[in-house]
A and B are shown apart, each in its own frame.
Chain A
Amino acid sequence: MDHPLPWLAPTLVLLAVFQLYPMVEAVLMSFTNESLVSPDTEFVGIEQYARLATDPQFWEMLRVTAIYAFSSVVLHVLLGLVLALAIDYGVRRGLRGHLTTRVSVLLAWIVPGIIIGLVWKVMLVESQFGAINYLLGLVGVGPVPFRSDPTLALISTIVAGTWRGTAFSMIMIYGGLQRVPQRLYEAARVDGAGRWNRFRHVTLPQLKSVLFVTIVLVTIYALNTFDLIFALTGGGPGRSTQVLALFMYQEAFQDNALGRGASIAVVMLVANLALTAVYLYAFDVSEEI
């Protein structure tokens, strides 16, 4: 037991079987025409990628995925930051309601993704009987086709995603705020810094690393969102909310084209790795390890 191997062996075996091998296999598979229905698998070179590159729908889905991921990151992190600051402020000033707020936000986060999709489906029913449409009706708007208009459908998925995801950013940033040394604020006060300047020159720089990790994790999370959109819009109407994860799943398991699905997976893998590389480069984690 004085050697690290027995302690790490289960982890290494599991990682090899369920993470490393599948990742290598995804790349290999993407160069074949492997299918769930036909036993013959042939090497087809870059055919799958060529097919993707010349498919205008693929570029459209890439655009939808990028819009979804980018809006999610901006909304989750901004809302998370504002809420974390407000809760931190409330705790320090002894305001009431900070605990209720924190618990409310966290509750949305623990609802399973599929069910979040359904909850918002029920909220966004497109007649005057839907809750949101009723409220809009009171001020003379609507009924709004939240899920059948392409643009509104994408916005609806982003809002539902923000409902779920804000808690993660909030809790990460709140944790970061607790680790800002109090003496820095005291020093800033002594120097005559106002509230805004204390935020700008003390809080923000101290939160830099937390914010960066949060942004990258949220980006990756949003980039691979599946369950929520699967339940809320199923990718529709048309392909207006068809993110890459959904497209890949359909190609692989509904059209039985594993090779084609794998090539989309590799595109997603490259996007994830590229973002991780940016993360490793811009934020030096070596000191953390």
Chain B
Amino acid sequence: MTNNEPQSDGGTPVETDTIRQEQPTSRLRRLAETITAPATVDAAVYVLYAVAVVFFVFPALWVVSASLRPEGELFSYPFRLLPSEISLTAYQQVIDAGVATWLVNSTLVTILGVGGILLVSVPAAYAFSRFEFRGRRGLLGIVLLFQMISPVIIIVPLYTVMSTLGLLRTRAGLVLLYVGIQTPFSIWLLKGYFDTVPMELDYAARIDGCNRLQTLRYVLLRPVAPGIAVVGIFNTVLTWSEFVLAFTVLRSESRLHTISIGVYKFQGQYGNDWRAIAAASVIGMLPLVLVFLGLQRYFVKGLVEGSLKG
């Protein structure tokens, strides 16, 4: 926008009038007025939109275009932005490499993981919001602190923990790990939503004979639904995309490999076959893109409405 303008009169006539009375109109000032006039700003914003859309969408579209080429076209003249004809050979290569297994594994891990995260973090967020107990702030501080520490840092000891518990090379182990790692942030987000619900609802439910579990289930769950949606979507994206934990826990157990691992291994095998790598990338990003296109409205709305504070 106009952030880098040295000085401006703003766009509305009221302001310019008051300022004009004191200062003679100079050429510079007229220039500044033109620059900050609503029409100029609108135009600048449109240009910015266009640049942003190209920068953020072009790489994905180029990969789609590259994946649909006939054999050899990526490396022949003339350069084409679009394929001369559609060929699905590259997709056949990815399917033969076992992409269906990776997709099923990722879907299973994501559903179980996100379900587990919600099952653990909703009651915990409720407790942090509704109970008064000693050490509550301290405990919440610790939860917040864990959120600041990337799982990459503890990957080495996590490997030995998983090994000791017999959870290496198991899907259950990976799911448990995701629940453990992603719960802190989810609790922190959800607590914000619980805090916005007035306590009067709890009191009314209590008078009607609800215990705490029933209050949560029948009274509070509806008002915090936008928060649950945000946490659910956020964790779906994280879990589906996660690589380093899955790579470390599942090791070489290829029948359990998730999409990220599968695609990574695939590109290791196919080296410079850009068309095949592009096809694998498209399959890897498509499911989330489709789900997210449908849900991003709720995601942004939930985030804005709720209290992703500070």
Residue in B15, B142, B177 whose Cβ sees the most chain A Cβ within 10 Å: B15
Determine if A239 is an interface residue (Cβ-Cβ < 8 Å). no
For the complex, what is the distance from the CA of A96 to the CA of B272, rounded to whole Å?
Answer: 41
B263 with A107: CB separation less than 8 A: no
A194 with B56: CB separation less than 8 A: no
For the complex, what is the distance from the CA of A83 to the CA of B49, rounded to whole Å?
Answer: 8
- Report chain A residues within 8 Å CB of B52: 83, 86, 101, 104-105
Chain A: how many interface residues by the 8 Å CB criterion?
108
How would residues 82 to 118 of chain A score, 1 for a CB under 8 Å from any chain B CB and 0 otherwise? Answer: 1101100110010101101111111111111111001
Write 14 A-B pairs (CB below 8 A) sorted by A numbering: A1-B212, A11-B183, A21-B157, A90-B49, A104-B56, A110-B289, A112-B259, A122-B62, A178-B304, A192-B10, A194-B8, A230-B244, A262-B157, A275-B148
The 4 closest A-B pairs by CB, nearest first: A18-B180, A194-B10, A112-B241, A224-B150
Partner of B60, one of A20, A100, A108: A108
Give A residues with C-beta under 8 Å from B.
1-2, 4, 7-8, 10-11, 14-15, 17-23, 25-26, 29, 82-83, 85-86, 89-90, 93, 95, 97-98, 100-115, 118-123, 125, 127-129, 131, 134, 163, 166, 171-172, 174-175, 178, 189, 192-199, 209-210, 212-213, 216-217, 220-221, 223-224, 226-227, 230-231, 245, 248-249, 252-253, 258, 261-262, 265, 268-269, 272-273, 275-276, 279, 283, 285-286, 288-289
**Besides the contacts A4-B131, A107-B289, A231-B264, what 10 more A-B pairs have beta carbons closer than 8 Å?**
A7-B127, A19-B181, A104-B52, A113-B241, A192-B10, A193-B10, A195-B1, A195-B2, A195-B41, A268-B150
For the complex, what is the distance from the CA of A97 to the CA of B49, rounded to whole Å?
Answer: 7
Partner of A285, one of B79, B144, B284: B144
For the complex, what is the distance from the CA of A1 to the CA of B180, rounded to whole Å?
Answer: 23
For the complex, what is the distance from the CA of A252 to the CA of B160, rounded to whole Å?
Answer: 11
A102 with B300: CB separation less than 8 A: yes
For the complex, what is the distance from the CA of A174 to the CA of B302, rounded to whole Å?
Answer: 12
- Report chain B residues within 8 Å CB of A21: 157, 161
- Report chain B residues within 8 Å CB of A95: 42, 45-46, 49
For the complex, what is the distance from the CA of A13 to the CA of B274, rounded to whole Å?
Answer: 45
B161 with A17: CB separation less than 8 A: yes
Determine if B92 is an interface residue (Cβ-Cβ < 8 Å). no
For the complex, what is the distance from the CA of A101 to the CA of B244, rounded to whole Å?
Answer: 30
B280 to chain A, nearest CB (A): 7
- Report chain A residues within 8 Å CB of B303: 171, 175
B285 with A112: CB separation less than 8 A: yes
A103 with B18: CB separation less than 8 A: no
A118 with B180: CB separation less than 8 A: no
- Report chain A residues within 8 Å CB of B187: 11
Given A23-B149, A231-B267, A288-B310, check contact A198 B10 (CB 8 Å): yes
Partner of B79, one of A82, A128, A195, A226: A128
- Report chain B residues within 8 Å CB of A272: 148-150, 153
Given A112-B243, A285-B144, check contact A18 B158 (CB 8 Å): yes
- Report chain B residues within 8 Å CB of A220: 148, 150
Considering only CB atoms, which chain B residue lies closest to A79 in the complex?
B52
B82 to chain A, nearest CB (A): 12
Considering only CB atoms, which chain A residue lies closest to B211 in the complex?
A1
For the complex, what is the distance from the CA of A144 to the CA of B11, rounded to whole Å?
Answer: 45
B154 with A115: CB separation less than 8 A: no
How would residues 287 to 310 of chain B score, 1 for a CB under 8 Å from any chain A CB and 0 otherwise? Answer: 011001100100110011000111
